[in-house]
Structure 1
Amino acid sequence: MKQVTQKNITILVFLFTLGTVFSQNGKVKQANNNFNDYAFMDAIASYEKLVEDGYSDEQIFKKLGNANYVNARYEEASQWYGKLVELEEAEIESDYYYRYAQSLKSIGDYEKSNQWMQRFSTSKSTDQRAKNFGNKEDYLERIKRNSGRYQLQNLSINSPVSDFAPSFRGNELIFSTARDTGITSRNIHEWDEGSFLNLHSAKISETGDLEEPKRFSKVLNTKTHESSSTFSEDGNTIYFTRNNSQNGKFSRDGKGVSRLKVYKAIFQNEQWEKATELHFNNDDYSVAHPTLSSDGKTLYFSSDMPSSLGASDIFKVSINADGSFGEPQNLGPLVNTESRETFPYVLDDVLYFSSDGHPGLGGLDVFAVKLDGSSNEVINLGKPLNSMQDDFSFIMDIEGKGYFASNREGGQGSDDIYAFVETEPIKFTCISKLAGVTKTLDSDDVLANVRILFMDGDAIVGETISDNAGKFEINLDCNIAQYTIAADKEGYIGTKQTLLLEKTSTTDLVLELAKEQPKTPVAGTNLLEYLNLNPVYFGLDKSNIRSDAKESLLKAVAYLKANPSVKIEVQSHTDSKASNGYNQRLSERRAKATVAFLVVNGINIDRLEQKGFGESLLSNSCNDWSKCDDRENELNRRSDFIVIEE
C-alpha cells in the first residue's frame, strides 16, 4: 500500500523494537524522533536528507528500508536494503534479508529475490518462512498453475485515497475508506498523511452494480480508525476493527502506540447501539480484522498477542450460545509464519487470508487453506487476483462472486476495491491418512523395512517403508479414488493389490509377502535341505504325520506350487529296531502318508513318486538301535524329498 492503513499497523509495533539510538546531532535526532513517533513519511524525508548530506550509516539504511517497507513503497525499500547489505562489517539481522527479498519480489526481480531468500533460509533455517521456501522452491510454477481463475473489475466507488476491507451485509457492501470526510486537518493520521478511516456502505443492485457509497453509521464511525467489518447472517450484529480509544479518540500505550481492537455492536430499533470491545482485546497488543465462520459460531481474527508466531497471526475463538466467547486459539504453523498473516475470511470450510510469509508474488498475497484438516496445502490464488503489490481483504459468496483490495498499479487510489468472479474453483489436494502393517504370508510374522509404493495408474504418487514393527502410515490424495499398492523387500516375492480409498482413515490394511523361493535345485537334491527346512520325522513304529512336521511340509507345498515343473520322489526310512521286512513295510507306509499329505494340500499326484527304504539307508551309525539314544534313532525315522525332475 502506498499509504499505511490498518493492515500495516500491527507491523508498526514490530518495527518499534528496531529503533536503535545513534548519533544525536540535530538532524539525526529529529529523524529518529519521527521514526519512533511513527511519523514515517517525515522520517523518510529526514533520513533521505541525511544521506544527501553524506551520511552512510547502517541504522539509517535500516530505518529507511523499514519506513518504506511498512508504507508498501517496495521499490524504495529495496534500494535502501540493497545499500544496507552492501555495507562491509554491518551487523545485519536475518529478517532484513527476508524483507529485502520481499521488496525485490514486489518490483518483479524474482531471481535476485530467490538468491536473498536462500541467504535468509541458510541463516535462519528453523524459520517457518525458510521451511516454506525450501518446500516450495518452484513456487512461481505452482502459482502459475493456479492462475487465470478470476475475472477482475475495478469499481466506480473507489476514491483517490484508500478503499479496502469489503464485507457483505445482505444487499450492501460495507467497506473502509480514507476519503474526505469533511473533518479538519487535526485528524490527519501522521503515520501516512492520510485521513482517518471510516466505514461506508454501498447498495448492491439486482444487476450487481454498486450505488453511490454513504457513511455507514454515525454511531460506529468515530474520530479514530474503523475498519474490517463482518456481520451475522441476519445483518444485525457487527464485529469490526477500531483503534484503542477513549471517548471516541485515540488512546495510546506507554510506547505511543494506539493498538487495534475488535468491537461488537447490535442493530435494533433501526439503529446501531454503542459498540463494546471484546474481552480478549488488550492494551499491550492488537486484535483486528474479524470474520465469522459460515455457521456464525466461530470468530476468526488477526493479532500479535503473545502466543503469535510472527508479526501478526490468525486466531479463532468460539462464540457460545449465550454470546460469550471461549479462549482464542492460534491456527498454528500451517497458516501462520514469522511475518504477517492477516485479513482472514471463511467460506464453508475454506479459510482465505493475506500473507507475506508464504511464497508469493510480492507484498501481501491472498492464500487459501482447508479448515477441516482434509488437506495440508496452502494455495496461492495466483494471478490476476494476486500481484507484485499488496492484495488483501478477500471476500466471496457461494456463487464465486466477491471483492478484494489491492494497491497495484492502474488503480484510482492508494488502495482500490476490485470485484471478481471465480471462473474455476480451487482444487485442494485432499488428504486421507492410511495406516497398516506388513507381514510374512505363511507365518503371519511382522515383516520390517518393506518398501511400499502407491500408484495412480503407472505414476508413483506416494512411497513409504514399514518400521521395525512392520507398521506404516502415509497421507494420500483422496481425490484419487483407486490406488495400486506395490510392496517389495529383498528376499521376498513382491505383491500388488488395489485399494479403493475412502475419505476417512484406514488402519487395518495388511500387506503379506511370501518368502522368495530359491532357484530350482538340480536332480538328486534333497528339497528339504535345499529349502533349509526341518526334516519330516516320525514317531516310533508310527506312519502318521506329526504336527511338528506340518510346517516343513506346508512350506514345501508352497515351493512346489510356485515351481510347477519340479517333480520329487518321497523317500521314507526307519530306524534299525524290528526286522528288515517289518521296517520295509513301515517305511512304505510312511512314504504313502507323506505323499497323501502333499496331495491333500494341492500337489498333483503326477508330480510325486514314493519309495520306502526300510533301515537300509541310515543317516548315522545306529545299526544297533539299542546302543543309541532316542534322539539318535529318531534321525533315521524320516521322509526325504528328492528332486527327480527340475
Structure 2
Amino acid sequence: MKLKHYILVCITLTLSLSVFAQQGKQKRADTLFNKFSFVKAAKVYRELIQKNYNKDYATRRLADCYAYLRDPKNAARYYKSVVKQDNVPVEYYYSYAQALRGIKKYEESNIWLKRYKDSGGVVNANDFSKDINFITSVFGAKKQYFLDRVRFNSKYSDFGAFEHNGKVYFASARDEGVSIKRVYGWNEQPFLDIYVTDVKSRRNVNHTGKLKGDVNSIYHDGPVTITKNGKHMYFSSNNFQKDIEKKDSKGMTNMKIYRATYRDSTWTDVEDLSINSDNYSTQHAALNKDDSKLYFASDRPGGFGGSDIYVVDINPDGSLGEPKNLGGIINTESAEGFPFINQEDVLFFSSDGHTGLGLLDVFATIKGENDDFVDVVNLGIPINSNKDDFSFTMNPNGITGYFASNRKGGRGDDDIYAYHREPTLHVEGVVNDAINMNPIAGAKITLFDDKGNEIAYMETDENGFYQINIDRNQDYKIVASQEKYIDDYRNFTSKNIQTELVTIDANMLLNPVQDVIKLAELNTIYFDFNRHNIREDAALELDKIVNLMQNDYPEMVIRIESHTDSRGSLTYNDKLSIDRANATYEYLISKGIHPDRITAHEGFGERRLTNGCQDGENCEEEEHQLNRRTQFIVVKME
C-alpha cells in the first residue's frame, strides 16, 4: 500500500509539474504576443497545441499571429479550426473571411462574412461584400498599369519607393554587411532604414546605400517624401531622438513624422513636428503638389478606427496647423495609410477596409463639384493582388511610379514594384446647332470600329457634351444624330498616340432638317395676353433673325407660325394668332428681309399648346405665356 501510495503521489506530482510547465509556457507566449513578437509567440503557441494544452485558446492566438504577420495562408489554416470551436467570439468569423480573401477564396470568404453579419457582427460601411460583382469587374477590366522590373529589392522588406531628381529613396530592412544586426520582434527582421540609389542603377543596394546624415537611427526609419525644391524631407521614424526612446502607457514605441533639412550635401537638423505624440503613431508623410499640405496616417483618438488619413496645412514659416480627418468616404473602421498626392491633386492610399482583392489594396479618390471626396476606386490588377499592396507613388510625369507588395513571386518579404501607366483614351466633344451654335442636348452619339460595328452609344448632356472611352491603336468613326437634324460624323484614329495624350477632340455641328426644324428656343418670340404688337424683347430676337438671314445665311428661307394660349374662343384665338403672324412678318420685311424668303406666315390659334394649359386647367400666367408665341421654321438653308 505504501508503494502504491508513493507511485500515485509521484504521478500526481509529475502531472502537476507538467501542467505548471504548460501554464508557464502559455504565459510566455502571451507575453511575446503582447510585445508584438509574433514570430516567437507563434512558435510557443504551436508547442502548446502539440501538448494539447488549452488548445482552443492557443489555436486562436496562433491564427492571430499569422494574421498580424500578413500570412493569410497559415492564418486561414488555423482560423478554419477556430470557427468550429464552441462559443467562439464572432469576430473570428470576420478574421477567417479576411484570411480566405487573402488566398483568393472569394466565394467562401463571403459565406463567412455573411455568417459574421448574421451573428450580430458589425462590418465596415465599405466592406468587401457590398458589390458581389466586384471581383469579376476588377479582373475583367482593361488594364491601365503595367509592371516594370526593379533591380534593388532584397530578401527582406523593401517598400516606400519615392523618386526625386533622378534618385529613388526607399525603406528597407536589409542590413547586410554589418557585424551586429538588431531585429524587430514583430517579424524577426532587421529594423528599417532609408536607402537611396540612382533611378537608372542596375545594381543591388547594400548597406553603403543608406542615406547619409542624421535621418537613420537604430530603430525604424522610413518611408520619406521630399519637397519639390529638395530642401526638406519628411520621414517616418520611431519615437527615438537624441538616444532616448520614448514609450506610451502600453510600452509601445510609436511612430512619428520628422522633418530634416538638406544642408552641405547631407540631411540634418531633424525636427519633431507638432502633429506628433508619444501616445499614438503618426507616419506615412505625403505632400501635395505645391508643398502646402501634409497628408499622413495616424491612429490618434477621434478617428474612425484602426489608422485614418489626415491632412494639415503647412504655414509659410514651416509650422503646421490643426490636423483634419479626411472623413468617412476615405477612412473606415479598419486600417488606412500610405497616402500619396499626384500632380493632378488626386489622393491615393492603401486600405483593408474598402472593397478589395485581399489584404491591403491601393485606392484612388474621386472628388465632386465642391472639391470634396465623393468616392474611392480600387486600382485593380496588377497594382492590387490578394496580398498586401501599399506605398503607391507616382512620378511627376503621371505615367510611371512605384508601389510595394508581399505577393507571391517577389524576391523577399515586401518588394518594390515599378509600373508604367497607359491612361484610358477618351474621345470627347460638343455637338452644336449649325445655325445659332447653341448646344444640342440629347443628341445620339454612336461610335463605330473600322469594320462598321457599333461599339458604344451615349447621349449628349444639357451642354451638348459627350465623352467615350476608346482603345488605343484603333480606327474609329463617330456619328452625332438627332431626329430634327442632319447627321454629322468624324473619322479618327488612336494609333501611334503618345502615352501622355488621353483625349481626342471631335466636335460636331448639326444642320436642321429642311421644313422641320425650328430655330433654337432663343429665337422664339412671345406676346402679351390678348395682344399682337411686337414687344421690345421680341424685337431684339427678331433683329437676331434678321442678322442671321442677311449676314450668316443669305439663302435661308423660313416660314412663320404663330400661336395663342387657350383662353378665349377658338375662333377669336385663330384670328389673334393670324394677327401675330402678320405683325411678325411685317417687322421682318421692314428690316429688309425680302418677302420671297418668307414662304408663309400662319396662325394656329390654341391648337398647338406647348404644355397642358388647355381650357379648364388652372395654370399660372408664366405657363400661359409659353403658348403665346411665334416660331420660325427653316424651309431652306442654302
TM-score range, shorter chain: 0.5 to 0.7
* 1:481 aligned to which of 448, 465, 485: 465
The change in CA–CA distance for 1:229 and 1:605 in structure 2 (over 3 A counts) is: closer
2:22 and 2:53 in contact (8 A); partners too:
no
User: Does 1:357 find its partner at 2:333?
Assistant: no
In structure 1, the partner of 2:383 is 385
Q: In structure 2, the residue corresponding to 1:376 is in which secondary structure?
A: strand
In structure 1, the partner of 2:63 is 65
User: Does 1:198 find its partner at 2:193?
Assistant: yes
User: Does 1:411 find its partner at 2:410?
Assistant: yes
| Matches for 1:77-116 after TM superposition, within 5 Å | 77-93=75-91, 96-116=92-112
The change in CA–CA distance for 1:558 and 1:478 in structure 2 (over 3 A counts) is: closer
2:90 and 2:121 in contact (8 A); partners too:
no
Q: Give per-residue Cα distances to partners, 1:332-374, cap 9 Å, x unaligned.
A: 1111111111111110221111111111111111111135647
In structure 2, the partner of 1:305 is 300
In structure 2, the partner of 1:272 is 267
Q: Give per-residue Cα distances to partners, 1:454-513, cap 9 Å, x unaligned.
A: 989599xxxxxxxxxxxxxxxx99999369xxxxxxxxxxxx999xxxxxxxxxxxxxxx
Segments of 5+ residues of structure 2 without an aligned counterpart are 1-19, 427-440, 447-459, 468-482, 486-529, 531-562, 579-602, 608-638
User: Does 1:229 find its partner at 2:205?
Assistant: no
| Separation in 2, partners of 1:112, 1:26 | 38
| Separation in 1, partners of 2:573, 2:86 | 87
| Separation in 1, partners of 2:340, 2:385 | 19
The change in CA–CA distance for 1:342 and 1:138 in structure 2 (over 3 A counts) is: same
Instruction: Report the AA paired with residue 32 of structure 2.
Output: N
1:456 and 1:482 in contact (8 A); partners too:
no
1:147 and 1:383 in contact (8 A); partners too:
no
How many residues matched? 440
Q: In structure 1, the residue corresponding to 2:146 is in which secondary structure?
A: strand
User: Does 1:54 find its partner at 2:49?
Assistant: no
- Deviation of 1:289 after TM superposition, in Å, equals 0.6
2:126 and 2:355 in contact (8 A); partners too:
no
1:162 and 1:416 in contact (8 A); partners too:
yes
In structure 1, the partner of 2:551 is none
Normalised to the residue count of structure 1, the TM-score between the two structures is 0.62
User: Does 1:402 find its partner at 2:401?
Assistant: yes
| Matches for 1:444-459 after TM superposition, within 5 Å | none
1:351 and 1:371 in contact (8 A); partners too:
no
Comparing 215-224 with 148-157, greater Cα deviation is found at: 148-157
Q: In structure 2, the residue corresponding to 1:228 is in which secondary structure?
A: strand
Instruction: Report the AA paired with residue 481 of structure 1.
Output: F
The change in CA–CA distance for 1:457 and 1:211 in structure 2 (over 3 A counts) is: same
| Matches for 1:513-552 after TM superposition, within 5 Å | none
Instruction: Report the AA paired with residue 412 of structure 2.
Output: G
In structure 1, the partner of 2:543 is none
In structure 2, the partner of 1:624 is none
- Deviation of 1:191 after TM superposition, in Å, equals 1.6
* 1:318 aligned to which of 313, 324, 327: 313
| Separation in 2, partners of 1:41, 1:477 | 59
- Deviation of 1:142 after TM superposition, in Å, equals 2.9
Q: In structure 2, the residue corresponding to 1:102 is in which secondary structure?
A: helix
The change in CA–CA distance for 1:57 and 1:108 in structure 2 (over 3 A counts) is: same
Instruction: Report the AA paired with residue 403 of structure 1.
Output: Y
2:363 and 2:377 in contact (8 A); partners too:
yes
Normalised to the residue count of structure 2, the TM-score between the two structures is 0.63
The change in CA–CA distance for 1:316 and 1:599 in structure 2 (over 3 A counts) is: same
- Deviation of 1:72 after TM superposition, in Å, equals 0.6
The change in CA–CA distance for 1:182 and 1:88 in structure 2 (over 3 A counts) is: same
RMSD of equivalent CA atoms: 3.5
| Separation in 2, partners of 1:226, 1:386 | 25
* 2:572 aligned to which of 596, 599, 603: 596
| Matches for 1:33-44 after TM superposition, within 5 Å | 33-44=31-42
In structure 2, the partner of 1:520 is none
Q: In structure 2, the residue corresponding to 1:296 is in which secondary structure?
A: coil
- Deviation of 1:241 after TM superposition, in Å, equals 0.3
The change in CA–CA distance for 1:147 and 1:190 in structure 2 (over 3 A counts) is: farther
The change in CA–CA distance for 1:456 and 1:308 in structure 2 (over 3 A counts) is: farther
Instruction: Report the AA paired with residue 413 of structure 1.
Output: G
| Separation in 2, partners of 1:332, 1:249 | 35
The change in CA–CA distance for 1:497 and 1:380 in structure 2 (over 3 A counts) is: farther
Q: Give per-residue Cα distances to partners, 1:390-422, cap 9 Å, x unaligned.
A: 111111113311111111111111111111111
In structure 2, the partner of 1:445 is none
| Separation in 1, partners of 2:84, 2:565 | 73
- Deviation of 1:51 after TM superposition, in Å, equals 1.2
Q: In structure 1, the residue corresponding to 2:338 is in which secondary structure?
A: strand
| Matches for 1:492-507 after TM superposition, within 5 Å | none
User: Does 1:240 find its partner at 2:235?
Assistant: yes
| Separation in 1, partners of 2:82, 2:304 | 26
Percent identity among equivalent residues?
Answer: 35
| Matches for 1:128-139 after TM superposition, within 5 Å | 129-133=124-128, 135-139=130-134
The change in CA–CA distance for 1:29 and 1:267 in structure 2 (over 3 A counts) is: same
In structure 2, the partner of 1:331 is 326
| Matches for 1:253-272 after TM superposition, within 5 Å | 253-272=248-267
1:365 and 1:380 in contact (8 A); partners too:
yes
1:43 and 1:67 in contact (8 A); partners too:
yes
In structure 1, the partner of 2:364 is 368
The change in CA–CA distance for 1:146 and 1:296 in structure 2 (over 3 A counts) is: farther
Q: In structure 2, the residue corresponding to 1:112 is in which secondary structure?
A: helix
Instruction: Report the AA paired with residue 386 of structure 2.
Output: M
- Deviation of 1:63 after TM superposition, in Å, equals 2.0
The change in CA–CA distance for 1:314 and 1:239 in structure 2 (over 3 A counts) is: same
| Separation in 2, partners of 1:479, 1:191 | 58
Instruction: Report the AA paired with residue 356 of structure 1.
Output: D
| Separation in 1, partners of 2:276, 2:137 | 38
In structure 1, the partner of 2:335 is 340
Please say which structure displays the higher CA radius of gyration: 1
| Matches for 1:570-609 after TM superposition, within 5 Å | 595-597=571-573, 599-600=575-576
The change in CA–CA distance for 1:477 and 1:260 in structure 2 (over 3 A counts) is: farther
Q: In structure 2, the residue corresponding to 1:26 is in which secondary structure?
A: helix
Instruction: Report the AA paired with residue 408 of structure 2.
Output: E
| Separation in 1, partners of 2:423, 2:93 | 36
In structure 2, the partner of 1:294 is 289
User: Does 1:178 find its partner at 2:154?
Assistant: no
2:225 and 2:287 in contact (8 A); partners too:
yes
| Separation in 1, partners of 2:266, 2:464 | 52
- Deviation of 1:233 after TM superposition, in Å, equals 0.4
| Separation in 1, partners of 2:89, 2:33 | 20
| Separation in 2, partners of 1:152, 1:237 | 30
Q: Give per-residue Cα distances to partners, 1:500-543, cap 9 Å, x unaligned.
A: xxxxxxxxxxxxxxxxxxxxxxxxxxxxxxxxxxxxxxxxxxxx
The change in CA–CA distance for 1:456 and 1:175 in structure 2 (over 3 A counts) is: farther
Segments of 5+ residues of structure 1 without an aligned counterpart are 1-21, 428-453, 460-475, 484-495, 499-544, 546-555, 561-569, 571-592, 608-646
| Separation in 2, partners of 1:71, 1:478 | 53
| Separation in 1, partners of 2:565, 2:606 | 17
